Amino acid sequence: MAVVNGVDPDEIRKLLDQKKHMEVFLSVCVSCGMCADSCFLYVNHNKDPSYMPSYKAVHSLGKMYRKKGKVTREELEEMKELVYKKCVLCTRCYCPVGISIPGMIAWARNICRSQGVFREYDERDSENIEMKQHV
């Protein structure tokens, strides 16, 4: 299949197929929300659900698997925030069922990067500006 709107679904598909266990993780996650409180970013952002470990994995890598790699550019841009800014890959999240989440978020980053979606360190968003004022 050709590159559509700056996204190469075949390449995404190839990368997804390399991690069969992650597809299994996504199908066994019982969406219980017990991993939430083990993430310090979740706890320190007023318990905003979008910082919850399984939210970040399900709405990035999970979405790619569900759509079999056929995600749009816009969707990748939305994931960018989740996988680069809302997780620091500290690997502290605790899942009672035995799912390993940081690996999934790291792989979602990898796939985003393969499509030219990556963190821009000189990005000026409100949070950064606020931080600069404190320095």
Partner 1 sequence: MYDFLIGPMLALSLVVFIAGIAYRVYQFFSITEARPKPEANLPKDLARTVAAREKDEYLRIDSAADILLKWKLRLKRTILGRAPVMSSVTIVFHTMLFLLPVVTVGHSILLDNYFGISLPTLSETTVDTLTLVFIIVIFFFLFRRIFVAKVRSVSTWRDYLALFVTGAPFVTGYMAFHHWFDYKTVLYIHIICGELMLIAIPFTKLVHMPFFILSRFLIRYELGFGKGSRKWVENT
Q: Is the CB of residue 79 less than 8 Å from the CB of residue 87? A: no
Longest dimension (CA), the chain: 49
Least separation in angstroms between CB 49 and partner 1: 4
User: With respect to partner 1, which residue has the nearer C-beta, 100 or 128?
Assistant: 100
Q: Is the CB of residue 107 less than 8 Å from the CB of residue 19? A: yes
Report 44-63 residues binding ligand SF4 (CB under 6 A).
53-54, 56
96 near ligand HEM (CB under 6 A): yes
Q: Which two tokens stand for residue 105?
A: 């978020």
- Interface residue with partner 1 among 54, 61, 76, 87 (CB under 8 A) is 54
Report 34-53 residues binding ligand HEM (CB under 6 A).
34
Q: How far apart are CA 119 and CA 67, in angstroms?
A: 23
